[in-house]
Amino acid sequence: MEKIQNYINGVFLAPKKNVYFDNIEPATGKAYCQIPNSDDADVELAVNSAKEAFPSWSGMSNELRSDWMMKLAEGIEARMDEFVSAESRDNGKPIKLAAHIDIPRAVSNFKFFATGIVHYSSESHLMHGVGVNYTLRKPIGVVGCISPWNLPLYLFSWKIAPAMAAGNCVVAKPSEVTPYTAYILCKVMEEINFPKGVLNIVHGYGQNAGDAIVRHPLTKAISFTGGTTTGKAIASIAAPMFKKLSLELGGKNPNIIFDDCDFDEMLSTTMRSSFANQGQICLCGSRIFVQRGIYEKFKTAFVEKVRKANVSFPTDPEAHLGAVVSRPHMEKVLSYIELAKEEGGIVLAGGHQVFLDAPYNNGFYIAPTVIEGLDYMCRTNQEEIFGPVVTLTPFDSEEDALRMANSTEYGLSATIWTRDLQRAHRMADQVQAGIVWLNSWLVRDLRTPFGGVKSSGVGREGGWEALRFFTEAKNVFVKY
């Protein structure tokens, strides 16, 4: 079976202890390659390699660094089909999703920060008659980037691209559940002769390789995307070491539908915001609040559409939903459906595992699930499920909707559907979320701040926010 390798100082390396574990294909439930079980010894090598590379990479002109980043983007484009198939196979997502969203977006991330860095500038503050302050934005040094499995290369590149563009050298760990596209990225680096040691990729479990990246005294900033519990554990290690921290964590996002919305557009977008990527997008609207006047109409139309959604193997061009990412994750999602029933929920659609014919008969498939009749404070409505499961809850007034929407510990994103302009802005102002979509969902401009409030995270990614995170400000005052 193929063995994925770490990529350290421009060389493919086996983990020092030579221990591997299986990478399971969600579509079939079968192992198809092996992943290094790296630990602190491998991370030590990677950090040293990044440290060695830092003076020349950070000393390079922004234009030259930009050129290298563009070459990385072009290298992915040149292997587009390979990346697309690998992402779909590793994650279980429909291949058309990987082709239209994941891999093109990874390319855009590299291009965006490659061009961003040549337009980035620092500030100066004039003190009339006294002098002037100018602020330098210097790269931090060696930084750690740790990413999750739901949008593997997309979220991995969202971190490593600004980190490198700003002049840092990186030790990065993709999710052990979906490591493959990060591995192909290493092949691209080798092909284009990307400067050695600038990006070091170490594979393995979070508690071994991830933890070692966070603990290493030389990783001066940690950019993490993943679950809130993991974020807490990382913060408890990194904060006393005074590392810079960017934490993009879980969500339990409200989708608030007023009865004056554009019904058809809302309905088709709500299908996507509920079930895209099998509901495994941190921005999915898993709690659907519908104004009472259209509750029954919405319920009937939505449930009809959901029942027709095609759950199939990822390479099926007709698949609306593919496999969820792993057996433990499938079991977690199914256990939440059982919990919802115990809490008094009524399953209107789905609610069960889906069994496909061989060779997909051991794959991890769940029917898109709609549940109503739950209290907004119950566990099903408060805890992140991160799968193809949504709940429906009616509301009467704006206050009613806001109280329920803001009731969870999370605050990542919110979607609001209404044609009333004033209400839309009022709601956007008061909903507790870092990202709000009015009459839309997942429209992304890479220049905008991305991140959540409350237990959904600390800090913002995207645009200048990311470049600010990956640089240290140094203010210099010059007296007249």
Residues designated catalytic: 248, 282
Supply the minimum distance, in Å, between the C-beta of residue 343 and ligand NAD. 21
Distance CA 104, CA 88 (A): 13
459 binds ligand NAD (CB under 6 A): no
Which of 206, 279, 314, 411 lies at the binding interface for ligand NAD (CB under 6 A)? 206
Distance CA 242, CA 146 (A): 18
Contact in structure between 390 and 287 (CB atoms under 8 Å): yes
Of 162, 167, 101, 100, the residue nearest 464 (C-alpha): 162
The count of residues interacting with ligand NAD (CB under 6 A) is 32
Tokens 């994103």, located at residue: 413
> Alpha carbon 297 to chain centroid distance?
33
Give the binding range for ligand NAD (CB under 6 A) out of 7-15, 200-208, 265-273, 367-375: 200-208
**Element holding 36 (H helix, E strand):** strand 30-36
Supply the minimum distance, in Å, between the C-beta of residue 229 and ligand NAD. 7
Of 214 and 266, which has the nearer Cβ to ligand NAD?
214
Helix, coil or strand: residue 347: strand
Give the chain's length.
Answer: 480
Of 213, 199, 237, the residue nearest 146 (C-alpha): 213
Supply the minimum distance, in Å, between the C-beta of residue 93 and ligand NAD. 13
Give the torsion sign (CA, 330, 335, 340, 341). Answer: positive
Torsion of Cα atoms, 277 then 279 then 284 then 290, to 10°: 130
- Tell me the residue type at 341: K
Give the torsion sign (CA, 303, 307, 308, 310). Answer: positive
268 binds ligand NAD (CB under 6 A): no
207 binds ligand NAD (CB under 6 A): yes
249 binds ligand NAD (CB under 6 A): yes
Of 142 and 294, which has the nearer Cβ to ligand NAD?
142
Supply the minimum distance, in Å, between the C-beta of residue 315 and ligand NAD. 23
226 binds ligand NAD (CB under 6 A): yes
Of 4, 15, 46, 311, the residue nearest 170 (C-alpha): 46
Q: Which of residues 155-174 bind ligand NAD (CB under 6 A)?
A: 155, 173
106 binds ligand NAD (CB under 6 A): no
Which of 200, 230, 246, 415 lies at the binding interface for ligand NAD (CB under 6 A)? 230
Supply the minimum distance, in Å, between the C-beta of residue 283 and ligand NAD. 8
Of 234 and 414, which has the nearer Cβ to ligand NAD?
234
412 binds ligand NAD (CB under 6 A): yes
Positions that interact with ligand NAD (CB under 6 A): 146-150, 155, 173, 175-176, 205-207, 210-211, 214, 225-227, 230, 233-234, 248-251, 282, 384, 386, 412, 452, 456-457
